């Protein structure tokens, strides 16, 4: 049952990112880069931060015994900072975002409840070692995305762009 929940969260992640990328396409490059006082400054900065977090976590998750599908993420350059701008333009960012979302869905499709009970050892961005239950790390991964997409929805709203429904109910079977 727990693995099924993460499959749902992966689909929700893909659905919401697609909606937000569509909304971003309604704005100019200048609007996407405009500092709005958000934690990661702009819409583009916030999109980049979500991707930075995803890459860092997916590279950690690639160490999981059931993560063969994530091996390609190992080749991605590890972000230097949490606020790094990996992509300065929307089209490049969108292409990478869609690739990551497909990878996340494929990874979650193969997860079992037994996989989620495994402890995963990793180091945070400061090099401190941790050993945590994989299910909890997955929950953090999806919660982080949702948190920052909420910030994006506010930034879009401030610019008069309606992104439509954002509730998880929108993808529930």
Q: Residue 173: what pLDDT? A: 86
Q: Residue 65: what pLDDT? A: 84
pLDDT tens-digit series, residues 5-48: 999 999 999 999 999 999 999 999 999 999 999 999 999 999 99
Residue 16 inside a domain? The answer is yes
The distance from CA 53 to its chain's CA centroid, rounded to whole angstroms, is 7
What the block records as the tokens of 17 is: 């990112």
- Three-state secondary-structure class, residue 151: helix
Burial zone of 58 (CB within 10 Å; 0-12 exposed, 13-18 middle, 19+ buried): buried
H helices of 25-61, where?
Answer: 29-33, 43-61
Residue 171 inside a domain? The answer is no
CATH of the domain at 67: 1.20.120.450
Cβ neighbours, 10 Å, residue 74: 12
Closest alpha carbon to 105 in 53, 58, 56: 58
Residue 27 inside a domain? The answer is yes
What the block records as the tokens of 25 is: 């396409």
Residue 173 inside a domain? The answer is no
Residue range(s) defining the domain that contains residue 96 = 2-163
Burial zone of 122 (CB within 10 Å; 0-12 exposed, 13-18 middle, 19+ buried): middle
Q: Residue 13: what pLDDT? A: 98
The number of folded domains in the chain is 1
Cβ neighbours, 10 Å, residue 53: 18
Q: What stretches in the chain show pLDDT beneath 50?
A: none
Residue 172 inside a domain? The answer is no
Residue 168 inside a domain? The answer is no
Residue 11 inside a domain? The answer is yes
Q: Residue 113: what pLDDT? A: 95
């Amino acid at each position: 049952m727990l693995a099924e929940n993460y499959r749902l969260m992966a689909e929700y992640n893909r659905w919401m990112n697609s909606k937000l990328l569509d909304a971003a396409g309604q704005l100019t490059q200048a609007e996407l880069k405009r500092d709005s006082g958000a934690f990661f400054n702009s819409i583009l900065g916030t999109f980049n931060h979500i991707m930075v977090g995803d890459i860092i976590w997916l590279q950690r998750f690639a160490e999981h015994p059931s993560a063969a599908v994530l091996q390609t993420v190992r080749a991605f350059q590890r972000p230097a900072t949490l606020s790094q701008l990996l992509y300065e333009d929307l089209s490049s960012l969108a292409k990478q975002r869609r690739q990551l979302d497909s990878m996340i869905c494929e990874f979650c499709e193969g997860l079992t409840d037994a996989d989620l009970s495994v402890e995963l050892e990793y180091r945070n961005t400061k090099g401190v070692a941790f050993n945590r239950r994989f299910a909890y790390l997955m929950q953090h991964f999806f919660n982080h995305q949702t948190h920052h997409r909420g910030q994006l929805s506010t930034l879009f709203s401030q610019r008069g762009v309606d992104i439509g429904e954002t509730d998880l109910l929108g993808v529930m079977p």
